[in-house]
Amino acid sequence: MSINLLTNLVFPNFMSIISSNIKFLRKKKGLTQQQFADEIGIKRSLVGAYEEDRADPKYDLLKKIALYFEVSVDDFINETINEKWAPKPKGNPANLRVLSITVDKDENENIEMVPVKASAGYLNGYADPEYVSNLPKLYLPMFKQGTYRAFEIKGDSMLPLVSGTVIIGEYVENWADIKAGETYVVLSKNEGVVYKRIGNKYRDNKKLKLLSDNPAYEPYEIGGEDILEIWKAKAFLSTHLPMPTPEPSIENLTSMMAEMQKSISRLQSNN
């Protein structure tokens, strides 16, 4: 079932909202249909079809159009955008910038990689489409839904993941979705790019507690106004292969048995 048929059955005004939003935003930028088509990389006839509600853009193209107009996808498909419209806060008012992405020839989002040596530059260029387009790119077929980015980590604060491991993160648009106890890549003004376990849910005007898996590192807090991007860790790539677990020696087995016998004796005496 096409998105047009499905949405017309359930939300009859859905596509008319998108068509009117495209038309309004295009005119607001002072673009002809041909100029807008050239900007997005599609045929002019498609722009006309979208604006006249005769066809619907695929989801990946919807995201690209929303990004071009600096509007969230949610607002783009659900809100009538006109002169009186204003974007709604998404739970992280300090971070209202639109995410920069790139797509391949088939309109699939790339997974851009941020090496350690590019971390400082990413702090300044993360919202710059030209900068992001020049980052190395990965293709991982298991990650087709969502927006992903790869970050090379440094240091030993997240052992057993060693320095040089690449974390694949999924973009977190709404910080209220952050789950305590899970790991994320956090981009902040003061700390740059860090990979940490988050110790608490995000709340407006509250700080996030960042934890290292290596107990040698103290946890610390970071304010929402300092945070630029958050990416939920979904996978990692590493050249550091795990070593086999050594088999227990006779001495260790004997010691373990002795401790078990002591524990059993204590339980029996308590009963």
pLDDT per residue as tens digits for the range 179-235: 999 999 999 988 899 999 999 988 766 789 999 999 999 999 998 888 989 999 999
Taking residues 29-43, report their average pLDDT: 92
Q: Is the peptide bond before 160 cis (omega within 30 degrees of 0)?
A: yes
CATH number of 111-237: 2.10.109.10
Using the Cα atoms of residue 79, residue 109, residue 61 and residue 82 in order, give the sign of their dihedral.
positive
Determine the pLDDT at residue 105. Answer: 79
Compute CA distances 183 → 121, 122, 210, 211, whole Å: 23, 20, 9, 9
Specify the pLDDT at position 93.
44
Of residues 31, 138, 22, the one with CA closest to residue 80: 22
- Would 3-78 and 111-237 be classified into the same CATH topology? no
Q: How confident is the model at residue 9 (pLDDT cuts 50, 70, 90)?
A: very low
First-residue to last-residue Cα distance in the chain: 67
For 120-143, the pLDDT digits (tens) are 888 888 878 888 888 999 888 888
Q: Given pLDDT bands bounded at 50, 70 and 90, which one contains residue 12?
A: very low
Q: Provide the residue ranges of all domains of the chain, joining segments of one domain with +.
A: 3-78, 111-237
For 3-78, CATH number out of 1.10.260.40, 3.40.50.970, 3.90.1150.10, 1.10.3720.10 equals 1.10.260.40
Angle at which helix 14-28 crosses helix 3-10, to 10 degrees, equals 110
pLDDT of residue 152: 94
- What mean pLDDT value characterizes the chain? 82
